[in-house]
Amino acid sequence: MADETGHLPRRPARVLKAAQWSWQGLRAAWRHESSFRLEVYLLVVLAPLALWLGANGVERALLLGSLLLVPAAELLNSAVEAVIERYGAEYHELAGRAKDMGSAAVFVLMMNVLLCWGLVLGPRLL
């Protein structure tokens, strides 16, 4: 988000302002989005497992990185949905398509988690 002068953060004070806006977004998602809360709960449970089960840095990065992408996509999906709702609750084909695509992006990244975890941990279990 641009500040009052219309510039992106560059100096330390502006970077701190950008961090405040990010924190506000995280708090809003936590407060208003049950899917985001569920994904954070799963991250809290699975992140330590990812660090423990990964045999090396690359495996840990794959396991943990795939997990972190899901709530990030949920934040973007929620932002799209909020903008669409801002302009009215009546049905519009493009609004429905945008919401469905945002949901599909979250789904694809959830499948990515399963794929990464399966490829990294599967050979050890079989």
Residues spanned by the domain of 63: 33-125
CA distances from 31 to 27, 34, 42, 119 (A): 6, 8, 17, 34
Per-residue model confidence as pLDDT tens digits over 30-71? 999 999 999 999 999 999 999 999 999 999 999 999 999 999
Does this model's pTM top 0.75? yes
Q: Judge whether 7 lies within some domain.
A: no
Tally of domains in the chain: 1
Between 104 and 126, the more confident residue is 104
Q: Which residues are catalytic?
A: 74
The CATH number given to whatever domain includes residue 90 is 1.10.287.3610
